[in-house]
Amino acid sequence: MKFGRKRILTLDELNAYRKAYGKPIQKKELFLTIMIPFSVTFFYTFILYYYWWLSLICGVIGAIYGYIFITSQQVKRVYENNAFRERNNFINTMTQLLTNNERTVLQALQTVTERANGEFKEDLQKLSSDLIDANNEDIKNAFQELADKYEKDVIFSMYIEQLITAATQGRTNVDTLKDIKSYHNEVKKRQEKFFEAKKRKERDFKYMCRVGLFFIAAVTFSFGFGQFIENYAHHVIGWVSSAIYLLILARIFHTFLKRMGDDSVMEVKI
Protein backbone atom coordinates (compact mmCIF):
# COMPACT_ATOMS: atom_id res chain seq x y z
CA MET A 1 0.00 0.00 0.00
CA LYS A 2 1.08 3.55 -0.67
CA PHE A 3 -0.32 6.72 0.83
CA GLY A 4 -1.55 9.42 -1.52
CA ARG A 5 -0.03 12.75 -0.58
CA LYS A 6 -2.68 15.09 -1.93
CA ARG A 7 -5.88 13.12 -1.40
CA ILE A 8 -8.12 12.92 1.63
CA LEU A 9 -8.47 9.28 2.64
CA THR A 10 -11.86 7.93 3.65
CA LEU A 11 -12.31 6.05 6.92
CA ASP A 12 -12.53 2.77 5.00
CA GLU A 13 -9.21 3.50 3.31
CA LEU A 14 -7.56 4.43 6.61
CA ASN A 15 -8.90 1.22 8.15
CA ALA A 16 -7.43 -0.77 5.26
CA TYR A 17 -3.98 0.50 6.24
CA ARG A 18 -4.56 -0.21 9.92
CA LYS A 19 -5.82 -3.73 9.26
CA ALA A 20 -2.72 -4.45 7.18
CA TYR A 21 -0.83 -4.97 10.46
CA GLY A 22 -3.48 -5.08 13.15
CA LYS A 23 -6.93 -3.92 14.16
CA PRO A 24 -9.02 -1.19 12.50
CA ILE A 25 -9.31 2.28 14.02
CA GLN A 26 -11.31 2.10 17.24
CA LYS A 27 -14.22 4.49 17.82
CA LYS A 28 -12.58 5.90 20.96
CA GLU A 29 -9.33 6.54 19.09
CA LEU A 30 -11.14 8.33 16.26
CA PHE A 31 -13.23 10.33 18.75
CA LEU A 32 -10.14 11.56 20.60
CA THR A 33 -8.32 12.43 17.38
CA ILE A 34 -11.24 14.66 16.39
CA MET A 35 -12.31 16.02 19.79
CA ILE A 36 -8.89 17.02 21.11
CA PRO A 37 -8.19 19.45 18.21
CA PHE A 38 -11.79 20.68 18.52
CA SER A 39 -11.44 21.32 22.26
CA VAL A 40 -8.03 22.99 22.02
CA THR A 41 -9.08 25.23 19.12
CA PHE A 42 -12.38 26.11 20.80
CA PHE A 43 -10.66 26.96 24.09
CA TYR A 44 -7.87 29.07 22.56
CA THR A 45 -10.36 31.02 20.44
CA PHE A 46 -12.75 31.57 23.32
CA ILE A 47 -10.19 32.98 25.78
CA LEU A 48 -9.09 35.46 23.10
CA TYR A 49 -12.48 36.53 21.71
CA TYR A 50 -15.13 35.43 24.22
CA TYR A 51 -17.61 34.66 21.44
CA TRP A 52 -18.94 31.12 21.73
CA TRP A 53 -20.17 31.04 18.11
CA LEU A 54 -16.75 32.03 16.75
CA SER A 55 -15.09 29.50 19.03
CA LEU A 56 -17.49 26.83 17.79
CA ILE A 57 -16.64 27.58 14.15
CA CYS A 58 -12.91 27.42 14.87
CA GLY A 59 -13.44 24.23 16.89
CA VAL A 60 -15.16 22.57 13.94
CA ILE A 61 -12.25 23.61 11.71
CA GLY A 62 -9.89 22.05 14.24
CA ALA A 63 -11.93 18.83 14.27
CA ILE A 64 -11.86 18.62 10.46
CA TYR A 65 -8.10 19.21 10.55
CA GLY A 66 -7.77 16.45 13.14
CA TYR A 67 -9.49 13.94 10.87
CA ILE A 68 -7.89 14.99 7.58
CA PHE A 69 -4.32 15.45 8.78
CA ILE A 70 -3.73 14.01 12.25
CA THR A 71 -5.63 10.74 11.79
CA SER A 72 -4.04 9.97 8.42
CA GLN A 73 -0.60 10.87 9.77
CA GLN A 74 -0.97 8.54 12.75
CA VAL A 75 -2.22 5.69 10.56
CA LYS A 76 0.63 6.27 8.11
CA ARG A 77 3.27 6.18 10.85
CA VAL A 78 1.90 2.99 12.42
CA TYR A 79 1.68 1.30 9.01
CA GLU A 80 5.17 2.27 7.91
CA ASN A 81 6.77 1.42 11.25
CA ASN A 82 5.17 -2.04 11.29
CA ALA A 83 6.18 -2.63 7.67
CA PHE A 84 9.76 -1.59 8.47
CA ARG A 85 9.90 -3.93 11.44
CA GLU A 86 8.71 -6.82 9.26
CA ARG A 87 11.37 -6.06 6.65
CA ASN A 88 14.02 -5.92 9.34
CA ASN A 89 12.93 -9.30 10.71
CA PHE A 90 12.95 -10.68 7.17
CA ILE A 91 16.53 -9.55 6.55
CA ASN A 92 17.81 -10.89 9.87
CA THR A 93 16.07 -14.27 9.57
CA MET A 94 16.93 -14.79 5.90
CA THR A 95 20.60 -14.03 6.59
CA GLN A 96 20.66 -16.48 9.48
CA LEU A 97 19.05 -19.23 7.37
CA LEU A 98 21.25 -18.67 4.33
CA THR A 99 24.44 -19.14 6.34
CA ASN A 100 23.61 -22.81 5.82
CA ASN A 101 24.98 -23.41 2.31
CA GLU A 102 22.70 -26.39 1.80
CA ARG A 103 19.58 -24.24 2.11
CA THR A 104 18.22 -22.60 -1.05
CA VAL A 105 16.70 -19.12 -1.24
CA LEU A 106 13.24 -20.59 -1.82
CA GLN A 107 13.53 -22.89 1.20
CA ALA A 108 14.67 -20.00 3.39
CA LEU A 109 11.90 -17.81 2.01
CA GLN A 110 9.25 -20.38 2.89
CA THR A 111 10.51 -20.51 6.48
CA VAL A 112 10.59 -16.73 6.80
CA THR A 113 7.10 -16.43 5.33
CA GLU A 114 5.69 -18.60 8.11
CA ARG A 115 7.15 -16.20 10.69
CA ALA A 116 6.06 -12.97 8.99
CA ASN A 117 2.94 -10.98 9.84
CA GLY A 118 0.32 -8.82 8.18
CA GLU A 119 0.60 -7.43 4.68
CA PHE A 120 4.29 -8.29 4.41
CA LYS A 121 3.43 -11.95 4.99
CA GLU A 122 1.04 -11.72 2.03
CA ASP A 123 3.82 -10.16 -0.05
CA LEU A 124 6.13 -13.07 0.79
CA GLN A 125 3.44 -15.64 0.06
CA LYS A 126 2.94 -14.13 -3.39
CA LEU A 127 6.70 -14.04 -3.94
CA SER A 128 7.04 -17.71 -2.96
CA SER A 129 4.27 -18.77 -5.32
CA ASP A 130 5.80 -16.74 -8.18
CA LEU A 131 9.17 -18.44 -7.68
CA ILE A 132 7.83 -21.97 -8.09
CA ASP A 133 9.03 -23.41 -11.43
CA ALA A 134 10.13 -19.92 -12.50
CA ASN A 135 12.99 -19.20 -14.90
CA ASN A 136 15.69 -16.65 -14.12
CA GLU A 137 13.79 -13.76 -15.73
CA ASP A 138 10.63 -14.58 -13.77
CA ILE A 139 12.66 -14.86 -10.56
CA LYS A 140 14.19 -11.45 -11.14
CA ASN A 141 10.80 -9.87 -11.88
CA ALA A 142 9.18 -11.44 -8.80
CA PHE A 143 11.86 -10.15 -6.45
CA GLN A 144 11.96 -6.77 -8.19
CA GLU A 145 8.22 -6.35 -7.67
CA LEU A 146 8.78 -6.71 -3.92
CA ALA A 147 11.72 -4.29 -3.96
CA ASP A 148 9.71 -1.72 -5.93
CA LYS A 149 6.90 -1.80 -3.39
CA TYR A 150 9.32 -0.78 -0.63
CA GLU A 151 11.65 1.30 -2.81
CA LYS A 152 12.08 3.99 -0.16
CA ASP A 153 13.91 1.44 1.98
CA VAL A 154 17.14 1.54 -0.02
CA ILE A 155 18.94 -1.02 2.11
CA PHE A 156 16.09 -3.49 1.74
CA SER A 157 16.33 -3.07 -2.04
CA MET A 158 20.06 -3.80 -1.84
CA TYR A 159 19.28 -6.99 0.06
CA ILE A 160 16.73 -8.07 -2.54
CA GLU A 161 19.37 -7.61 -5.26
CA GLN A 162 21.62 -10.05 -3.43
CA LEU A 163 18.78 -12.55 -3.17
CA ILE A 164 18.19 -12.24 -6.92
CA THR A 165 21.85 -13.10 -7.51
CA ALA A 166 21.68 -16.04 -5.12
CA ALA A 167 18.47 -17.39 -6.64
CA THR A 168 19.49 -17.02 -10.29
CA GLN A 169 23.20 -17.84 -10.12
CA GLY A 170 23.12 -20.38 -7.31
CA ARG A 171 25.77 -18.64 -5.22
CA THR A 172 25.09 -16.82 -1.97
CA ASN A 173 27.49 -14.12 -0.80
CA VAL A 174 26.86 -14.55 2.92
CA ASP A 175 29.37 -11.84 3.92
CA THR A 176 27.54 -9.26 1.79
CA LEU A 177 24.19 -10.33 3.25
CA LYS A 178 25.61 -9.93 6.77
CA ASP A 179 26.92 -6.45 5.93
CA ILE A 180 23.53 -5.35 4.58
CA LYS A 181 21.83 -6.85 7.62
CA SER A 182 24.12 -4.78 9.87
CA TYR A 183 23.25 -1.62 7.88
CA HIS A 184 19.53 -2.26 8.25
CA ASN A 185 19.88 -2.95 11.98
CA GLU A 186 21.80 0.30 12.33
CA VAL A 187 18.93 2.17 10.68
CA LYS A 188 16.57 0.51 13.15
CA LYS A 189 18.68 1.73 16.08
CA ARG A 190 18.80 5.24 14.63
CA GLN A 191 15.04 5.10 14.15
CA GLU A 192 14.52 4.24 17.83
CA LYS A 193 16.76 7.14 18.89
CA PHE A 194 14.89 9.39 16.48
CA PHE A 195 11.57 8.46 18.08
CA GLU A 196 12.94 9.22 21.54
CA ALA A 197 14.11 12.64 20.33
CA LYS A 198 10.63 13.27 18.92
CA LYS A 199 9.06 12.49 22.29
CA ARG A 200 11.29 15.12 23.89
CA LYS A 201 10.32 17.65 21.22
CA GLU A 202 6.67 16.85 21.83
CA ARG A 203 7.08 17.57 25.54
CA ASP A 204 8.83 20.86 24.70
CA PHE A 205 5.99 21.85 22.35
CA LYS A 206 3.33 21.12 24.98
CA TYR A 207 5.30 23.23 27.47
CA MET A 208 5.39 26.09 24.94
CA CYS A 209 1.59 25.86 24.56
CA ARG A 210 1.12 26.01 28.32
CA VAL A 211 3.35 29.10 28.45
CA GLY A 212 1.13 30.70 25.81
CA LEU A 213 -1.97 29.99 27.88
CA PHE A 214 -0.28 31.40 30.96
CA PHE A 215 0.61 34.57 29.06
CA ILE A 216 -2.99 35.06 27.88
CA ALA A 217 -4.26 34.48 31.42
CA ALA A 218 -1.71 36.96 32.82
CA VAL A 219 -2.77 39.64 30.31
CA THR A 220 -6.45 38.99 31.06
CA PHE A 221 -6.06 39.38 34.81
CA SER A 222 -3.72 42.37 34.48
CA PHE A 223 -6.42 44.24 32.52
CA GLY A 224 -9.25 42.90 34.62
CA PHE A 225 -11.75 40.46 33.12
CA GLY A 226 -14.32 43.09 32.11
CA GLN A 227 -11.76 45.52 30.77
CA PHE A 228 -10.00 42.79 28.77
CA ILE A 229 -13.24 41.83 27.01
CA GLU A 230 -14.34 45.40 26.36
CA ASN A 231 -11.02 46.97 25.38
CA TYR A 232 -9.32 44.01 23.71
CA ALA A 233 -11.36 40.86 23.04
CA HIS A 234 -14.32 42.74 21.54
CA HIS A 235 -12.25 45.56 20.04
CA VAL A 236 -10.90 45.71 16.49
CA ILE A 237 -7.31 45.79 17.77
CA GLY A 238 -7.94 42.61 19.72
CA TRP A 239 -9.62 40.95 16.77
CA VAL A 240 -6.68 41.64 14.46
CA SER A 241 -3.88 40.83 16.91
CA SER A 242 -5.62 37.65 18.15
CA ALA A 243 -6.21 36.52 14.58
CA ILE A 244 -2.53 37.01 13.79
CA TYR A 245 -1.58 35.13 16.97
CA LEU A 246 -3.88 32.19 16.16
CA LEU A 247 -2.65 32.00 12.57
CA ILE A 248 0.98 31.97 13.73
CA LEU A 249 0.16 29.33 16.34
CA ALA A 250 -1.69 27.20 13.77
CA ARG A 251 1.26 27.41 11.36
CA ILE A 252 3.73 26.45 14.09
CA PHE A 253 1.50 23.54 15.12
CA HIS A 254 1.10 22.28 11.55
CA THR A 255 4.84 22.52 10.87
CA PHE A 256 5.54 20.71 14.14
CA LEU A 257 3.15 17.87 13.25
CA LYS A 258 4.65 17.51 9.77
CA ARG A 259 8.10 17.15 11.29
CA MET A 260 6.82 14.72 13.91
CA GLY A 261 5.29 12.61 11.14
CA ASP A 262 8.46 12.53 9.04
CA ASP A 263 10.21 9.26 9.86
CA SER A 264 12.59 9.49 6.92
CA VAL A 265 15.43 8.14 9.04
CA MET A 266 14.12 4.77 7.85
CA GLU A 267 15.22 5.74 4.36
CA VAL A 268 18.70 6.89 5.35
CA LYS A 269 21.54 5.60 3.24
CA ILE A 270 24.31 4.48 5.58
User: 123 or 264: which carries more pLDDT confidence?
Assistant: 123
Q: Ranked by mean pLDDT, which of 21-25, 86-90, 104-108 comes out on top?
A: 86-90
pLDDT (tens digit, 9 = 90+) per residue, 215-253? 888 888 888 888 889 888 898 988 999 999 999 989 988
Residue 261, domain member (yes or no): no
Q: Are 156 and 123 in contact (CB under 8 A)?
A: no
Domain membership of residue 161 (yes or no) is yes
Which candidate, 18, 2, 21, 3, places its Cα nearest to that of 119? 21
126 occurs within a structural domain: yes
Question: Is the model's pLDDT at 269 over the cut of 50?
Answer: no
Q: Whose CA is closest to 91, among 56, 115, 55, 64?
A: 115
Contact assessment for residue 62 and residue 95, using Cβ atoms and an 8 Å cutoff: no
Burial of 64 (C-beta count, 10 Å sphere; 0-12/13-18/19+): middle
Residue 48 lies in a domain: no
Decide which of 145 and 6 is more confident: 145
When divided into structural domains, the chain yields a total of 1
* Boundaries of domain holding 117: 88-185
Mean pLDDT of the chain: 88
Decide if pLDDT at 158 tops 70. yes
Mean pLDDT of 151-163: 93
Cβ partners under 8 Å of residue 76, min gap 6 = 3, 17, 261
Q: Is 52 within a domain?
A: no
> What is the per-residue pLDDT for 11?
84
Q: Is residue 112 part of a domain?
A: yes
With beta carbons less than 8 A apart as the criterion, state whether 88 and 185 touch. Answer: yes
Residue 194 within any structural domain of the chain:
no
Q: Note the pLDDT of residue 72.
A: 87
| 270 pLDDT more than 50 | no
99-134 residue pLDDT tens: 988 888 999 999 999 999 999 999 999 999 999 888
| Residue 106 belongs to a domain | yes
Nearest to residue 233, comparing CAs of 248, 61, 241, 56? 241
Where does the pLDDT of residue 4 fall: very low under 50, low under 70, confident under 90, or very high at 90 and above? low
Q: Rounded to 10 degrees, what is the CA torsion of 168, 171, 176, 181?
A: 70
pLDDT at 259: 79
